[in-house]
Amino acid sequence: MSRSFLAAVVQQAIGGNDKAENMAATAEHVREAANSGAQLVVLQELHATQYFCQVEDTECFDLAEDLDGETYEYFAELAAELDIVLVISGFECRAPGLYHNTAQVIDGDLGRVGFFRKMHIPDDPGFYEKFYFTPGDADAPGCGFEPVETRLGKLGVMVCWDQWYPEGARLMAMAGADVLIYPTAIGWDPDDDEDEQERQRDAWVTIQRSHAIANGLPVLVANRTGFEASPVDDGTGIEFWGTSFIAGPQGEFLALANCEEQGPLCAQIDLKRSEDVRRIWPYFRDRRIDAYKGLTKRWLD
């Protein structure tokens, strides 16, 4: 297992629901990253289509695939060709009426070595995900907050709304994750004023950098960019705020994209640095595990 490698997150605008066209455009970004030496490439959330969760529409379930569907087959072939570790994201049909928002980890010609079904499912205006996605099974093998073993180390993959929860990041770290990874699709309501938009984006960046600091681990975040109109006439649409980044184990930016740019964002990941940081900031040593019983409750009345 390598202790140092070049990683990339891909930030991309999605123009429509033509999967073949979208996958081909994504593949060009992946090739660019691999040609730059990236051994790990992370794609954004639901990258094969536009973000369909702006509305509740049963016809959108037709976009779902099983784990071995066309999106997986396409990117498994690409990962094998480029000999990289690739994290993809998609809309999974597990069974009739049972759907997940699922990230898969592909390790070169080994194919899929693990997957993660999104655990926290939002339900907000423009983000009606509870209509589409069932939360992942907490205790199922290969699911829950369980890192995926790859040639580059253990990847703690979670998805979008999971990124706001320190519990998930901590459990991944406690299970031995070497990096935390968040494929994401998040943006602004265009009706919000500029100050509110900036507060939201800053909060999103800050919470994920805090996961890096609290756990002494690098964090990789791939968010989409561009405006996607609402499918309904009275919808405002979403302006995805990009800002994909890679942070080191003290929360320091190793790479940071702006709101609009597209393509791979690369940074060197040094896993030995995580060990060095944990020696001077020994949070795991000083955790008061005897005093945290209340964390398993919804609220302390």
pLDDT value of residue 1: 54
pTM of the entire predicted model: 0.96
How many CA atoms does the CB half-sphere of 245 hold within 13 Å?
22
* Cα 108 from Cα 287, distance rounded (Å): 38
Question: Do 157 and 7 meet the contact criterion of CB atoms below 8 Å apart?
Answer: no
Q: Is 11 exposed, middle or buried (0-12, 13-18, 19+ CB in 10 A)?
A: buried
Q: What is the full per-residue pLDDT of the chain (301 aa) written as tens digits?
A: 569 999 999 999 998 999 999 999 999 999 999 999 999 999 999 999 999 999 999 999 999 999 999 999 999 999 999 999 999 999 999 999 999 999 999 999 999 999 999 999 999 989 999 999 999 998 877 678 999 999 999 999 999 999 999 999 999 999 999 999 999 999 998 889 999 999 999 999 999 999 999 999 999 999 999 999 998 888 889 999 999 999 999 999 999 999 999 999 999 999 999 999 999 999 999 999 999 999 999 999 8
pLDDT value of residue 284: 97
Q: Is 68 helix (H, G, I), strand (E, B) or coil?
A: coil
Tell me the catalytic residues: 45, 118, 160
* Cα 68 from Cα 47, distance rounded (Å): 16
Domains and CATH numbers, the chain: 4-286 (3.60.110.10)
pLDDT value of residue 2: 60
Q: Is 56 exposed, middle or buried (0-12, 13-18, 19+ CB in 10 A)?
A: exposed
pLDDT value of residue 276: 96
Tokens, residue 80? 């094998």
Strand-pair partners of 26: none
